[in-house]
Amino acid sequence: MNNFKNLRGTVDLLPTQLIKWQNVEKIILEQLFRSSVKEIRTPILEMTELFMRGIGEGTDVVSKEMYTFLDRGERSCTLRPEGTASVARALIQNGIVTKPSQKLWYMGPMFRYERPQAGRQRQFHQLGVEFIGYENVRSDIEIIALAWDILEKLGIKELNLEINTLGDQIDRSNFQKEFLKWIEINKNFLDLDSQKRIDKNPLRILDTKNIQTKNILRDAPRLFDYLSEKSLKRYLTFKENLKLLKIPFIENFNLVRGLDYYTHTAFEFTSGSLGSQATVCGGGRYDNLFSQMGGKETPAIGFAIGLERLILLAGEEFEKNREIDIYIINKGICAELMAIELSRELRNYDLLTEIDLSGSSLSKQFKKANKLKTKSIIVIGEEEALKNKFIIRMFTKEESENQEESILLEDKTKLKKWLKSNLLHKGSFSI
Ligand code: ATP
Ligand code: MG
């Protein structure tokens, strides 16, 4: 017999774990809805070329992390490693780039061939938000405030916002010239990974996690000193606005982010409680992406939250499951069918119901209801069923008169009245 196992770096999300996922996703979706951000869904599979062009061949993602294969038609396909390139493609292809400006979100699995470890998987999930067609610094502020509010609503502790500016392409190439001169002199002191980046993606060296390289970089030229007056002014306004909105931040001149297409604002949210993979959200402005991909020049800014890391950080209160409102105990041929009929009726009232399908004795079914901590039970014995009747009772309260009721299946008014006075949910239950 073959014992199948999931692929390394992929994870099964089991029903008990998904309670937290669903609760967290609900908060996120509500916040996005209230912020007029609309959903977009793009295919998980794309042409490899899209990511090579849209992310950049010098990046870690494209050069060593992609799941790429030839399909049966010999086309090179890739499982998406991130969402922004696909969103840009979809908008260009469908001719809706900025008609009008778009605030979009997506959520779903991403694939990167990385060494699996805590907080790092090969199939993981991201929530991404993209503001397309927005150039003004206010859009940078709005999108960061949105990320901040989502993270805060989820009770994320020890949250830090790190910011930097990457200037525009001219600022960057001016800086890169000086930086490469400095690197030429100091390259032997850099770690191996950083040395490999010199030709491919030198800016990424700034983002190193190697302590020794970090120390040496302290004496390197800073991108900040190469900003044009316009870029600098934009950055100062950005910081000023964050302060006015009382969103605390730390400046990190070495924050460059992995992907090639970023301009001006770059930011990351980290949390001290995450350990070594501390970044829960990364984002930035990418004014050059659309033109790089063959669309018209379109300013844009976005962020992506890693959902696995987010779930780790979210408070325990999100692990709570909603209690079952009514557990339906039934025994006998007529009773079993009536139980199904009744539960269908009850679902119209936003009640969480479960029917016992075991067919075991009533006392066993009672025990199960007890274990499940259900709020109330309905009991249908064969005798009641033959009279088209059932008994409904609050589970915890002993058989006191007004909390137990014998009701005829057709008598919806009586049922509603009982439900209203015994099982009222705050806000969600209206009949
Ligand atoms: P890192 O430096 O951790 O590799 P990154 O710059 O590659 O991050 P992004 O491409 O900015 O990450 O993705 C945004 C977020 O997605 C990250 O901050 C992280 O929370 C999450 N993420 C990225 N890669 C993984 C992964 N392999 N497993 C789980 N989450 C991930
Ligand atoms: Mg990475």
The pLDDT of residue 1 is 62
Q: In the Cβ-directed half-sphere of 105, how many Cα atoms lie within 13 Å?
A: 20
Superfamily of structural domain 326-424: Anticodon-binding domain (3.40.50.800)
- Residue type at position 47: M
The pLDDT of residue 353 is 93
Q: Is 286 in the pocket of ligand 1 (CB under 6 A)?
A: no
Contact 293, 277 (CB under 8 A): no
Contact 131, 147 (CB under 8 A): no
Q: Is 308 in the pocket of ligand 1 (CB under 6 A)?
A: yes
H-state helical runs in 327-404: 333-347, 362-371, 382-386
Q: Is 125 in the pocket of ligand 1 (CB under 6 A)?
A: no
The structural domains of the chain, with segments of one domain joined by +, span 15-168+228-317, 326-424
The pLDDT of residue 100 is 78
Measured from the Cβ of residue 197, the count of other Cβ atoms closer than 10 Å reads 21
Strand-pair partners of 106: 128
The pLDDT of residue 182 is 93
Q: Is 124 in the pocket of ligand 1 (CB under 6 A)?
A: yes
Q: Is 121 in the pocket of ligand 1 (CB under 6 A)?
A: yes
> pLDDT in tens for each of the 431 residues of the chain?
678 999 999 999 999 999 999 999 999 999 999 999 999 999 999 999 999 999 888 888 998 999 999 999 999 999 999 999 999 999 999 998 877 789 999 999 999 999 999 889 999 999 999 999 999 999 999 999 999 999 999 999 889 999 999 999 899 889 999 999 999 899 889 898 888 888 888 888 888 888 899 899 988 999 999 999 999 999 999 999 999 999 999 999 889 876 667 899 999 999 988 777 789 999 999 999 999 999 999 999 999 999 999 999 998 999 998 889 999 999 999 999 999 999 999 988 888 999 999 999 999 999 999 899 899 999 999 999 999 989 998 876 555 545 788 999 889 899 998 898 888 654 444 44
Distance CA 202, CA 319 (A): 43
Which of 64, 124, 276, 310 has most ligand 1 atoms within 8 Å of CB, for mutation? 124
Nearest atom in ligand 1 to the alpha carbon of residue 280 is 20
The enclosing H or E element of 158 equals none
15-168+228-317 folds as: BirA Bifunctional Protein; domain 2 (3.30.930)
The pLDDT of residue 241 is 97
**Tokens 């790190």 label which residue?**
162
The pLDDT of residue 258 is 67
Contact 284, 265 (CB under 8 A): yes
Residue 378 alpha carbon to ligand 2 centre in Å: 53
Nearest CA to ligand 1 atom 12: 282
| Overall pTM surpassing 0.85 (yes/no) | yes
Nearest atom in ligand 1 to the alpha carbon of residue 120 is 28
